[in-house]
Structure 1
Amino acid sequence: MNTHQTVLTLPTDVAGVRIGFIGAGRLGQALAWSLAHTGLKVVAVSSMLEEHARALAAPIAACVCMSPQAVVDACDLVFVTTPDSVIGATCDSLTWHSGQAVVHCSGVTDVGVLTHALTQGASIGGFHPMQTFGDPHAAAQSLPGCTITVEAGQAELMQLLLALVERLHCVPNRLPAGMRGRYHAAAGYTSQFINALFDQAVRLWQTWGATEEEALRALLPLAHGTLSAIQTAGVACGMPGPVSRGDLSSIDKHLSAITPMGPEMLDFYRTLCSVTVPLARQAGGIDEVQAQKFIDLLKA
């Protein structure tokens, strides 16, 4: 239960909001630099690893604080960019107050993990950039144009988060409460699962002596073309390949070729190919009779 009245009292101009970061990993660094480069006031940072805090702070002249509580005490808006597993414990260990806000940047962790701050009068929310953060400098460069998912229970905080998205030249996505698991899983399909698909394709190329580099040189343009088609025509109508044109014979040959690779790869191919059948039907590339023939072949 919220034992304090939650009232967000921030400067009317977003440029006057004092922003702090608890956690200075790759995401924290990229986001802090990006916000600062738009003219916003990133004033304080703390991290379990002091060298990370200094790496974040140095380019933007932020203060390196010796404790997370010092960040909370100095800031109006605090981003918790720690590993997901310690977001809740980090929030619970701190003293918050009415008039400030705390948000985490996890895609999958529920905003409710920040409830301790809410009970002390702070506003809570989520701010998740849908971007990879392998290298913070590269991530900061590629952040403009990406989608940032925002969640907040209070209208004033939602307005602030949307203003930050706009300053970053990103696209806002409002997420209803309780949907973070599905949302994050969806992101996984179009990020790390692509690596799994390429792994399977590369393994097939390697059976005739090709290297991974050679396989990727051939396959990446194909993937780029498919993504371009999806962007233009949508998921179903942008799908290429034999199922989309009713080519049952090619799929039969694929199954025969993959069978010697073992049941795991074969089952994976069958599962993926089965998912494409209703897409081809939706796009009008095959009729119901053809769709059933594909289904029967893939189940055989």
Structure 2
Amino acid sequence: MRSICFIGAGKVACTVGKYLAEHGVPISGYMDTDMQSADSAADFAGTRTYEDMSSLVAISDIIFISTPDDVILSVWDDLKNMDIKDKIIGIFSGSLSSEIFSGIESTGAHGVSAHPMYAFSDRFSDYRQLHTARFTLEGDDVAVAIIQDMLEHLGHKVVVIDPENKTRYHAAASIASNLMIGLYDLSLDMLTDCGFTHEDAVSFLSPLITKNVTAMLTSSPADALTGPIERGDTETITHHLEVLSPDERDIYLPLARRLIDIAINKNPGRNYDAMIKLLNETT
């Protein structure tokens, strides 16, 4: 079985290393400019730390550069001057593609990006739920085939995409994960403006959010859509727009226009002309 090392010992590397070690994948070691971080990740995964990159690379078949995105290129610049023939060089980045490995063909190595669609929050407990993660791969055919085989053997759903779609893919994940938090936070603020305590705002929104998310995931956005836009209630939307601040309208309007498209597909016989006119003319 191929051995894996991690250059960079943050949450993702710590979690993935522990998870793979628990499933019998040999972890050859960690290195990081923060030796305390490297030591804790290595101890957690039952392996050791290295201070010399070439020594770690020499004993590893698969090398994941698991640093922050803005450091990956400098690590690659060091790696490509070493003997990495037939080795797999990987990144976990959601936004960067394997094309960051410029000149990799001349080294004889194979580049891959393996992004787990998973929200990492705790370096020492997330590994317990990592079996639920889906992985998106792109890169060299040899590397993709090897990493895909490993992940599917562990029971993961894997989708392979083209490198040019990587940033759009990551934006989609960010909308579903990160930006939803922004909408929730905005809703909390608006309810507290109305006199709710924070605790009451959370308790009122929680079942609404949970029901809608469950409906979206078990059926479709169209089936889950309810409310004044779906009903074509232009008067209510007019009142919403009147009480929103300019910044709040900037968030509300593009999402409302998106919902109009969903509503039209759901109710092809319903007239949404007045709603469309209102949303398009409001700034």
* TM tier relative to shorter chain: over 0.9
State the one-letter code of the partner of 2:86: G
Q: Are 2:32 and 1:47 equivalent residues in the alignment?
A: yes
Q: Are 2:208 and 1:219 equivalent residues in the alignment?
A: no
Residue in structure 1 matched with residue 76 of structure 2 by the alignment: 91
**Cα distance, 1:118 vs. partner?**
3.5
State the one-letter code of the partner of 2:94: G
**Match for 1:293 among 269, 274, 280?**
274
After TM superposition, the structure 1 = structure 2 runs for residues 74-153 of structure 1, keeping only pairs within 5 Å, are: 74-94=59-79, 95-153=82-140
Distance in 2, matches of 1:29 and 1:246, equals 50
**Match for 1:254 among 240, 254, 258?**
240
Note if contact 2:14-2:44 (Cα within 8 Å) is conserved in structure 1. no
Distance in 2, matches of 1:116 and 1:90, equals 14
Residue in structure 2 matched with residue 36 of structure 1 by the alignment: 21
Note if contact 2:233-2:275 (Cα within 8 Å) is conserved in structure 1. no
Deviations 1:205-227 (A, max 9, x none): 11123233332222122112111
Deviations 1:227-258 (A, max 9, x none): 11111221222222221233333323322332
Distance in 1, matches of 2:200 and 2:56, equals 49
Match of 2:93, SS? coil
Note if contact 2:132-2:156 (Cα within 8 Å) is conserved in structure 1. yes
Distance in 2, matches of 1:122 and 1:212, equals 54
Residue in structure 2 matched with residue 60 of structure 1 by the alignment: 45
Residue in structure 1 matched with residue 225 of structure 2 by the alignment: 239
Distance in 2, matches of 1:22 and 1:217, equals 43
Distance in 1, matches of 2:268 and 2:230, equals 5
Name the CA shift for 1:267/1:59 in 2 (closer, same or farther; >3 Å): closer
Q: Are 2:251 and 1:268 equivalent residues in the alignment?
A: yes
**Cα distance, 1:116 vs. partner?**
4.3
Match of 2:84, SS? coil
Q: Give structure 1 stretches of 5+ with no counterpart.
A: 1-15
Distance in 1, matches of 2:44 and 2:125, equals 15
Note if contact 1:21-1:45 (Cα within 8 Å) is conserved in structure 2. yes
Q: Give the count of matched residue pairs.
A: 279
Residue in structure 1 matched with residue 144 of structure 2 by the alignment: 158
Note if contact 2:136-2:159 (Cα within 8 Å) is conserved in structure 1. yes
Residue in structure 2 matched with residue 6 of structure 1 by the alignment: none
Deviations 1:246-280 (A, max 9, x none): 3333323322332xxx2111232122212100101
Note if contact 1:226-1:240 (Cα within 8 Å) is conserved in structure 2. no
**Cα distance, 1:111 vs. partner?**
0.8
Note if contact 2:99-2:163 (Cα within 8 Å) is conserved in structure 1. no
Displaced runs of 4+ in structure 1, greater than 6 A? none
Distance in 2, matches of 1:240 and 1:37, equals 45
Q: Give structure 2 stretches of 5+ with no counterpart.
A: none
**Cα distance, 1:285 vs. partner?**
6.8
**Cα distance, 1:170 vs. partner?**
2.1
Distance in 2, matches of 1:42 and 1:84, equals 22
Deviations 1:8-62 (A, max 9, x none): xxxxxxxx11111110000111111111111111121111111111111112221
Distance in 1, matches of 2:171 and 2:109, equals 29
State the one-letter code of the partner of 2:243: A
Q: Which deviates further from its counterpart, 22-31 or 202-211?
A: 202-211
